[in-house]
Amino acid sequence: MSDWHALDDAGVGNRLRIVVHTSVPGGNNNASPAPVPWQTAASQMKVSEGGTTSIVPNLPALEQTDLDNGVLYETLIQVSSSANDTPAQRLTAVQTAAGVEQARVGSTLAKSLQYWGGNGMAT
């Protein structure tokens, strides 16, 4: 399973489009009256945003299954580099940007899905 996948150069100079896969934790959120598994909530949120099908061509079936089940959450970022960067420098830039994106997504999911699936009646 990959943390990130390079797509293309985004058509603008030295900019790469990178698909980042962030692991969604197990366990349950704080929805009331019945907590919802984080992975179920992530999958449902992704479906509400348009679906869980990856934009990565020929994505391994196991990774697609993990996206469908909310085990992984997929986002797209752009990473810029200098025309003078070596391949090693570009790789470092991509790995750093992917790590930053995974941290951002993890934090965002924790906040936005904390009460996902909760319901009740107004009093």
pLDDT for res 120: 73
Contact between 78 and 16 under an 8 Å Cβ cutoff? The reply is: yes
Q: What is the Cα–Cα distance from 32 to 87, expressed in whole angstroms? A: 50
pLDDT reported for residue 123: 64
Written as six digits, the tokens of 116 are: 């996902």
The count of other CB atoms within 10 Å of the CB of residue 49 is 8
Which residue shows structure tokens 């790590």? 99
Q: Do you know the residue count of the chain?
A: 123
Q: What is the pLDDT of residue 8?
A: 77
In which residue ranges of the chain is pLDDT below 50? none
**Residue 4 burial by Cβ neighbours in a 10 Å radius (0-12, 13-18, 19+):** buried
User: What is the structure's pLDDT at 46?
Assistant: 87
